[in-house]
Structure 1
Amino acid sequence: MELELEKITLPGVDEKRPLVIAGPCSAETEEQVMETARQLAGRGIKIFRAGIWKPRTKPGGFEGVGVDGLPWLKEVKQETGMYIATEVATAKHVFEALKAGVDILWIGARTAANPFAMQEIADSLRGVDIPVLVKNPVNPDLELWIGALERINQAGLKRLAAIHRGFSAYDKRIYRNLPQWHIPIELRRRIPDLPILCDPSHIGGKRELIAPLCQQAMDLGFDGLIVESHCNPDCAWSDAAQQVTPDILDYILNLLVIRETNQSTENLNELRKQIDECDNDLIQVLAKRMRVAREIGTYKKEHGMTILQTGRYNEILEKRGSQGASCGMDADFIKKVFDAIHEESIRQQMEIINK
C-alpha cells in the first residue's frame, strides 16, 4: 500500500537539511536534563530528545525514570522553547507522553519488530495528530519496517518519518549496529516522500564514529539526524560511550558538508548513461554464464554427479575475491556477488537435473 504522508513542519524549525534532534540517551535527573537542554538550545538545537522509558537487553540495568521524568521535559519546553521528543513502547507510554505535552514520539527498534506492539501503539494514537518516527527493526527486515509504518499510517497519522539506527549482528566488528545502508536506500526508493533520519549514536556505539556516520547519512540524502548528547557523557547512566557533549555535537554539525539532493548536470547524465551500458553488459555476461552453468548441469545429470561441488566453489570464491581486491573492490563485496551468482547457478542446474 502507499502511505498517505504529510510534511513534518514545526514552527521555528528550519526546513533545510539536516533536521537535528538531540539530547541524552536517558533522562536521569532534572539537573542533567535541564543542563543538557540549555547547552543544546544555546547552540541552536530546536528539538530535544530524552528516553523516559528505556528497554534494556537484560534486566538489572537502568530502565529509565519513567513518568517522573516527563515534568522535566515539560520544563525544557517551557524554559527553552524547544520541542520535546521521547520513545514510546506501549499504549500507556503514549497516554502519559501525550498528557505531558510531548511534541514528537519515536518507536524503538525492539518495538518496531513486534507487530502486536505496533498495533497497540497505532490503536492508542487514533485521532491524534503528532509526528511519529519509527526506527528500523533490530533485524534487517525492510518489510517489517514498512509494516510498522503502515500500521501507524492506517491509524490516521500522516506526519511520519523513519529512523535508521542500524541492524544487530552477532559479529559487531566496527559498529554497534551494522549500517547496511542499502536497506534505508531501498526504503527511500519504495516510499520517496518518507523522511529518513539517521541515528549515528546507535549505529556507531562509539562517539568517535558519530561524525563520519553523520556525513555518510548526508551524502546519501538523508533528511535529518537524531544524536545522543549529554552534558557529561562519561557519567551517563546508559550508553555512555556513544554520547557527545553539546559542544562536540555543535562542532560535528558545523563540519558537515551538505550536498544538493536534486541537482543534475549534463556531465552527470553522461556518466549515468555509461552506468546503464555497464549494467547491460553485466546482464549479458551473466546470461552467458548461466548458459554455461546449465550445460554443466546437463553433464552432471548424464554422469550421475551431485550439483554442489564444494571444492570448486571454494576455489572460485578465493580467486574472485583476490581478483576483486586487486581491482580496488572489497573482497566481502565480491563474495556476496558470487554467492548470489552461485545460488542462481545451483537453481538452474536443479531445474535441469529434476526434469
Structure 2
Amino acid sequence: MNTEEIQQQKEQVQQIWKKRPLIISGPCSAESEEQIMETAIGLAKTGKVDVMRSGIWKPRTRPGSFEGIGVKGLPWLQAAKKATGMLMAVEVATPKQVENALEFGIDILWIGGRTTVNPFSVQDIADALRGVEVPVLIKNPLNPDLELWTGAVERIDRAGIKDIGLIHRGFAVYGNTEYRNPPMWHLAIEMKMRYPELPFIADPSHICGNREGLLGVAQRAIDLDYDGLIIESHCTPDVAWSDAKQQVTPAQLEDILNHIVWRKEDKENIDHAALEKFRQQINNLDDELVELLSQRMQVADNIGRYKKDNEITILQTNRWNEILEKAIAKGEKKGLSREFVTKYFDAIHMESIAHQNRIMNE
C-alpha cells in the first residue's frame, strides 16, 4: 500500500476502535477460503458487525486436535476484507505469528486466555510489538487470576501499544457447571474498574460453550456497561472444525443482536430527578451501614479485651457458624442470596478477628 492508503487504513481502524458497541464476529477457525468468504459476506449483510475474527492458529489443550490452518489462511482474510470492508482480527501466541499477521495487514490482534497465563509468552509478544501501531485485545487468563490479566496489560502497554482492550471470556474451573467457562462476573467487574478507560468486551461464546445461552450472557454484559461483544459465527456451524456447538450463523447472530436491549451508562435529554432521589436514598443507607459497622467493631474490641483478660481464643467456630446460618436464613427471607450474605458476613468476621487480634497483642 502507498502512504495515502496506509493513512486511510489507520483512520478506519481508529474509527471502528472507538465505536460503541463494538461488535466482533467470525468463525472460531479459518477452514477454507470459501468458508471465510461466505461467512464474511453473511456478516457484512447484517450491517451490525464491525470486525471479523477468525482463528488462524489455534492453541489447543491437548495434541491431536485441529490447531489451525496456519499462515495460508491469512490471504483469505485479506480477500474477505477487500470484499466486505470489515476489519480483520486474529489471535497471536508467538512473535512469529505477530510478524505474519502484520505482514498480511491484519487490523487487530488478540492474545488468548492460554497465552495470558504465561508472562514469558506475553512478554515475547510485547517485544514483537514494539514500534508497531496496532490495537491489541487481551483475554482474561484461563484461571481466575486478575494479577496475570493486569500483568499482561502492563507488558503490552510498556511495549508502546496505545490501543489496548480487554476481553472477558470466562474462567476455567474443574467439574460440570452451567457454563463452559463460568463468567465470575465479580472478577470481570473488578478488572473493569481497574481499567475504566480500556474497551471491555464480553465473549459469550467461550463463556457459554453453546448457542442457547448466548443472548442471556450478552444481555448481562451490556447491562453491566460492557463496550462490545465478540461472538463466534460460521456459515455452517454444525460442521465447524472446532467449537461447533457455540457458533451461530450470521443470520442467527443478527437475531441475537436484535433482541439485546442496548443500555447506556447515561442518557441525555431525560429527567434524572427520580434516579437522583433513589441514589440519595442509597447514599443515606450506606452512611448508616458504615456507622453500624463501626459500632459493631467497637463491640468486637470489647470482646477482644474480655478474651484477652480471660485467656480465651479469638476464633469461636461453633459460635460463628450459628451467627452465619441465622443471617443466611433471615437474609433469604428478605430477598438476599445465600452467596451474598455469606461473603458479606465473612468479611465482617475477618475484620472483627483483625480488631480482636490487635487488642490481644497490644
Same-fold call, TM cutoff 0.5 = yes
Contact residue 27 and residue 234 of structure 2 kept, 8 A: yes
Aligned-partner Cα distance in 2 for 1:313–1:169: 29
**How far off its partner does 1:237 sit?**
2.0
Contact 1:17 1:258 in 2 (8 A): no
**Map of 1:210 onto structure 2:** 214
- Structure 1 residue 82, shift from structure 2 partner: 1.9
Q: Distance in 1 between matches of 2:196 and 2:220?
A: 19
Q: In structure 2, what residue type is equivalent to 1:156?
A: G
Unaligned ranges ≥5, structure 1: 1-6
Give the counterpart of 1:266 among 268, 273, 280.
Answer: 273
Letter in 2 for 1:33: I
Residues 258-337 of structure 1: pairs in structure 2 closer than 5 A: 258-263=262-267, 265-337=272-344
Work out which of the residue numbers 17, 20, 25 in structure 2 matches 1:22. Answer: 25
Aligned to 1:41: 44
Q: What is the CA-CA distance between 1:14 and the residue it aligns to?
A: 9.4
TM-fit CA distance, 1:168: 2.2
Which residue is equivalent to 2:348? 341
CA shift at 1:316, angstroms? 2.0
Identity rate of aligned residues, in percent? 56
Q: Which residue of 2 aligns with 1:3?
A: none
Which piece of structure 1 moves more, 267-276 or 183-192? 183-192
Q: Secondary structure at the match of 2:162?
A: coil
Instruction: Pick which of 218-227 and 237-246 moved more.
Output: 237-246
- Name the SS for the 2:289 alignment partner: helix
Distance 1:10 1:32 in 2: 24
AA at the equivalent of 2:304:
G
TM-score (norm 2): 0.90
| Stretch of structure 1 that moved more, 181-190 or 82-91 | 181-190
The Cα shift of 1:174 comes to 1.4
Structure 1 segment 119-130 matched on structure 2, within 5 A: 119-130=123-134
Deviations 1:83-138 (A, max 9, x none): 11100011011011111211110011121222211111111011111111111222
**Offset of residue 297 of structure 1:** 2.2
Q: Larger deviation: 68-77 or 102-111?
A: 68-77
Matched, 1:52 2:59: no
Q: How do 1:1-355 and structure 2 match up within 5 A?
A: 10=13, 13=16, 16-44=19-47, 45-263=49-267, 265-355=272-362
Q: Name the Cα RMSD after superposition.
A: 2.1
Residues 242-271 of structure 1, C-alpha deviation per residue, up to 9 Å, x if partnerless? 211111110010111112323371221221
Q: Which amino acid aligns with 2:20?
A: R
SS of 1:208's equivalent in the other structure is: coil
Distance 1:308 1:11, change over 3 A: closer
Aligned length: 349
Stretch deviating more after TM superposition (26-35 or 275-284): 26-35
